[in-house]
Amino acid sequence: MDYDVIVVGGGLVGVSIAWGLSKCGQRVAIVDEGDLANRAARANFGLVWSSSKGLGSAAYSRWSRTSTANWHQLAAELKAETGIDTGFVQSGGFSIRLTPTELERGIASMAKLAGQPGMDAEGTPPLEYEILDQAETRRRLPLVGETVAGAIFSPLDGHANPLRLFAGFHKALKQRGVHYFPHRKTTAIRHHAGAFEVTGEGWRLGAGKVVLAAGIGNTALAPMLGLSVPLLPSRGQIIVTERLKPFLSHATGYLRQTDEGSVLIGESKEATIDHQRPRGPITAVLAERALRTFPLLRNAKAVRIWAAFRVVTPDGYPIYEQSERFPGAFACACHSGVTLAANHALVLPRQISAGALSEDLSVFHSRRFHVPAAV
């Protein structure tokens, strides 16, 4: 056995878990694809956001809220280890609602969310939010457009620099002696003589445990280990502007200004993964809504537009599971890898090291999708 754990996938989920495992004293290797792999890790918004999540799953709401709270510790530890500042700011987030209908829908959905049983738990920050009418929204965000109908504000939310987070993890891993193998696409995994053998073209590695954190790649690999990661096709597109002088320090649900000054404008949810080319009509809608939100951006220039694939399960909540047939094999698949990075780094690895996921993650097992097979 070359390693205690092999993590398949070097994106945010993979590196967060690998870092945490290394902190638990595990000998870890990461196998990763190449430079042009589908990398949600390089294609995300940077929100650390929980307030509006979990309509339909109180457990997911709690999981997101604790991860947001744990982000402070993650940021501090990465900074101490690598000197890299992930730019985490939890100054609250505004979910801006452009029209009265959007505002009504938001109010209704937050009420439904808050009213779910199981939303509160010991040690979990309680859900907090405020409904802001047009006047109050303009008071707190003086630069919003006149037609903005209102917003939902939550002090729980914030943002970080996802690329520095990603770079920070990689640097920390290198410093800790975790082996990172790029250009190693995993084609097969099997359990053999008490260990897991992870193989690809011209290479093979063995470990006592394996964690699938390969994003979209998980679907093909999971069945090899008695796991299941069904995913829906989902593409998201984002516009990035030139650097601008700071004008917005808060995160908003679909528009934020990074600490370098560029503005990210998102996001679309298209039920397709046929290509990653930005689409004109999507760009147009994103830009138009951004200008209704912050009219002062009229003449700001887009310097980059990209589209990437999300990791989305059929109900949108994560999959965390351990294989029953092959204990020691785990699967982790989710979107929101930035928000959940803290739990992936600080909570999951202890459980993986100990050989069992905690009971409260059992709601995220993929069996929730399984329709009983016809005989």
Partner 1 sequence: MFRRLSDRNETSVSFTFNGVPTMARRGDSVAAALLAAGHCGTRQTPVSGAARGPYCMMGVCFECLVKIDGWPNRQACLTTVLEGMRVETQDGAAVPGQKE
Partner 2 sequence: MIRNIQSAADLAPAYDLVVVGAGPAGLSAAVEASAHGLTVLLADENEAPGGQIYRSVERASDADLARMGPDYAAGRMLIERFRRADVSYANRATVWNVGPADEETGAGAHAIEVGISLGGIARPIAAHRVILATGALERPFPFPGWTMPGVMTAGAAQILMKSSGLVPSGRTILAGTGPLLYLLASQLLRAGVSVTAVVDTTPVENWRSALPHLLRFATSPYALKGLKLLLEVQRRTRVIRGVTALEAFGSGQFGALRVHRSNKSLHIEGDLLLLHQGIAPNLNLSLAAGCDYVWDERLAAFRPNVDGRGASSVSGVSIAGDAAGIVGAVASAHQGEFAGLSAALDLNRIGQGVYEQRRAQHAQKLARALRGRTFIDHRFRPGKTFRVPEDDGTIICRCEEITAGKLREVAALGVPGPNQMKAFTRCGMGPCQGRLCGLTAVELLAQCRGVPPGEVGYYRLRPPIKPVTLSELAALPHTEAATIAVAGFVERAHDAAQDATYGSHQ
> What is the binding site for partner 1 (CB under 8 A)?
143, 242-245, 247, 261, 294-301
Tell me, what DSSP letter sits at residue 265? E
Binding-site size for partner 2 (CB under 8 A) equals 77
140 lies in the binding site for partner 2 (CB under 8 A):
no
Q: Are 85 and 164 in contact (CB under 8 A)?
A: yes
Contacted entry of partner 1, partner 2, none for residue 296, CB cut-off 5 to 8 Å set by kind? partner 1
283 lies in the binding site for partner 2 (CB under 8 A):
yes
Contacted entry of partner 2, partner 1, none for residue 247, CB cut-off 5 to 8 Å set by kind? partner 1
* Residue 199 CB neighbours (<10 A): 16
Q: Are 166 and 117 in contact (CB under 8 A)?
A: no
Contacted entry of partner 2, partner 1, none for residue 35, CB cut-off 5 to 8 Å set by kind? partner 2
Alpha carbon distance 132, 137 (integer Å)? 6
Contacted entry of partner 2, partner 1, none for residue 233, CB cut-off 5 to 8 Å set by kind? none
Contact characters 104-123, partner 2, x per CB under 8 A: -x-------x----------
Question: Which of 76, 111, 143, 303 forms a contact with partner 2 (CB under 8 A)?
Answer: 303
Backbone φ and ψ for 337, nearest 5 degrees, come out as: -65, -15
Which residue is it, tokens 């912050």?
294
Backbone φ and ψ for 95, nearest 5 degrees, come out as: -95, 100
Q: Which is nearer to partner 1, 1 or 244 (CB)?
A: 244
CB of 324 to partner 2, least distance (A): 26
Chain centre to alpha carbon of residue 92: 18
| Six token digits for residue 265 | 């404008």
Q: Which is nearer to partner 1, 164 or 184 (CB)?
A: 164
Q: Which region among 39-47, 134-142, 188-196, 199-207 touches partner 2 (by CB under 8 A)?
A: 39-47
Question: Which of 122, 299, 359, 371 forms a contact with partner 2 (CB under 8 A)?
Answer: 299
202 lies in the binding site for partner 2 (CB under 8 A):
no
Go through the chain and tell me how many residues it has: 375
130 lies in the binding site for partner 2 (CB under 8 A):
no
Contacted entry of partner 2, partner 1, none for residue 145, CB cut-off 5 to 8 Å set by kind? none
**What type of residue sits at position 341?**
A
Q: Cis omega (within 30 of 0) on the bond before 33?
A: no
Q: Scan residues 324-343 and list those touching partner 2 (CB under 8 A).
A: 335-336
CB of 177 to partner 2, least distance (A): 13
197 lies in the binding site for partner 2 (CB under 8 A):
no
| Six token digits for residue 201 | 């073209």
**What type of residue sits at position 8?**
V
Cα atoms found within 13 Å of the Cα of residue 78, Cβ hemisphere only: 31
Which residue is it, tokens 């042009």?
36
Alpha carbon distance 120, 219 (integer Å)? 33
Question: Which of 267, 311, 330, 340 forms a contact with partner 2 (CB under 8 A)?
Answer: 267
Contacted entry of partner 2, partner 1, none for residue 347, CB cut-off 5 to 8 Å set by kind? none
Backbone φ and ψ for 195, nearest 5 degrees, come out as: -140, 165
